[in-house]
């Protein structure tokens, strides 16, 4: 692989210079977001969402809120809905709530957060605080963060689902080393969602978890879609192949389309606080998706770098 450690800003800037990134002023005809059904309900969920790790952990100043409100409104204007956060992400839940309080519409958002503590009472308090911070009466998806005290929290989450305080339950992790444990807990607790790491650089989920999710009817959210920027470093100085330009206009779209074209994947949640990155990410949810033969070509190409 090319050893120059480009970041995404440099890769995107190179794409702009080459004229291969989408125009921000997109037309209605080419901005329809692809959606996939949530197996537990049949409800459609747009395939591109938004992660908030680090990028929403900011003071709620007018300037910081304005930028993040623009990103949220880009998400919903393009047909997206899911924003994922956690108490572990420090101020992120409060920032989301402050954006909603400032006038951003709650109704089009699919709010996903997590419980990350031990014990039933502490967990219930944390879940209620998340709802309060995000200025919402109902949390769309509550997830056990990194499998912490799963049995206890899943019991509370079932009760809250019955009461209408949360809509869906989930389990999460972000490392391949936890996939075996997550698979065991999927089988035991039967969540509505799982959230896992998966990308062209981290494909371990293909071995067990993604097929298992398909078999069990579990929706799948994908974190670390760019492998913490390593995928952009891997393609630095490399032109997007001609054969990929029918479905991707940038490397970011190439990476995201590989993920969302897997039949088990429901939604991918790249994190950003940059408007131009959000535009590029959202474009990956439009147009055609790679078929199995093209996915193999993409993975073979990436492996050859």
**CA–CA distance, 278 with 226 (Å, rounded to integer):** 14
User: Per DSSP, what are the bridge partners of residue 196?
Assistant: 222
Neighbours of 232 (CB within 10 A): 21
Query: What percent of the chain is helix, strand and coil (3-state, nearest 5)?
Result: 45, 15, 40
Phi, psi at 151, each rounded to 5°: -60, -45
Domain ranges of the chain: 43-304
**CA–CA distance, 159 with 148 (Å, rounded to integer):** 18
Q: What is the pTM of this model?
A: 0.91
Phi-psi region of 21 (alpha: psi -120 to 50; beta: other; left: phi over 0): beta
With contact defined as beta carbons under 8 Å apart, do 189 and 150 qualify? yes
Structure tokens at 252: 């970011």
**CA–CA distance, 6 with 142 (Å, rounded to integer):** 35
pLDDT value, residue 32? 85
| 305 residues of the chain, pLDDT tens digit each | 333 333 454 444 444 433 444 443 343 445 689 999 999 999 999 999 999 999 999 999 999 999 999 999 999 999 999 999 999 999 999 999 999 999 999 999 999 999 999 999 999 999 999 999 999 999 999 999 999 999 999 999 999 999 999 999 999 999 999 999 999 999 999 999 999 999 999 999 999 999 999 999 999 999 999 999 999 999 999 999 999 999 999 999 999 999 999 999 999 999 999 999 999 999 999 999 999 999 999 999 999 99
Q: At what angle do helices 120-133 and 92-101 cross, to 10 degrees?
A: 40
Superfamily of chain region 43-304: NADP-dependent oxidoreductase domain (3.20.20.100)
User: Per DSSP, what are the bridge partners of residue 199?
Assistant: 202
Structure tokens at 243: 């054969």
Residues present in the chain in total: 305
Would you state the torsion angle of the CA atoms of residues 207, 208, 210, 215, taken in this order, to the nearest 10 degrees?
Answer: 130
pLDDT value, residue 31? 60
Q: Would you call 262 helix, strand, or coil by DSSP?
A: coil
Q: Which of 220, 277, 222 is nearest to 250 (CA)?
A: 277
With contact defined as beta carbons under 8 Å apart, do 230 and 201 qualify? yes
Residues ≥6 apart with Cβ < 8 Å to 168 = 38, 40, 41, 140, 141, 142, 161, 192, 193, 219
Q: Would you call 147 helix, strand, or coil by DSSP?
A: helix
């Amino acid at each position: 692989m090319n050893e120059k450690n480009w970041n995404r800003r440099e890769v995107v800037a190179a794409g702009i210079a080459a004229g291969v990134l989408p125009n921000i002023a997109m037309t209605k005809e080419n901005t329809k977001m692809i959606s996939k059904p949530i197996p537990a309900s049949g409800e459609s969920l747009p395939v591109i969402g938004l992660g908030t790790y680090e990028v929403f952990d900011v003071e709620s100043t007018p300037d910081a809120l304005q930028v993040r409100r623009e990103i949220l409104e880009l998400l919903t204007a393009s047909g997206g809905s899911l924003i994922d956060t956690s108490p572990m992400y420090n101020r992120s839940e409060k920032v989301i709530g402050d954006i909603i309080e400032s006038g951003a519409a709650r109704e089009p958002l699919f709010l996903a957060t997590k419980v990350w503590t031990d014990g039933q009472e502490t967990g219930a308090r944390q879940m209620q605080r998340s709802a309060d911070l995000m200025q919402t009466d109902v949390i769309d998806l509550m997830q056990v963060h990194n499998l912490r005290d799963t049995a206890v929290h899943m019991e509370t989450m079932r009760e809250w689902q019955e009461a209408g305080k949360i809509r869906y339950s989930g389990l999460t992790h972000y490392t391949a080393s936890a996939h075996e444990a997550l698979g065991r807990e999927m089988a035991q607790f039967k969540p509505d969602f799982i959230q896992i790491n998966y990308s062209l650089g981290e494909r371990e989920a293909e071995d067990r978890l993604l097929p298992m999710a398909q078999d069990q009817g579990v929706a799948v959210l994908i974190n670390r879609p760019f492998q913490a920027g390593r995928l952009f470093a891997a393609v630095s100085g490399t032109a997007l192949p001609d054969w990929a330009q029918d479905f991707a206009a940038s490397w970011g779209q190439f990476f995201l389309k590989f993920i969302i074209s897997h039949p088990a994947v429901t939604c991918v949640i790249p994190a950003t606080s940059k408007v131009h990155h959000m535009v590029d990410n959202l474009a990956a949810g439009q147009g055609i998706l790679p078929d199995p033969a093209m996915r193999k070509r993409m993975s073979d190409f990436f492996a050859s770098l």
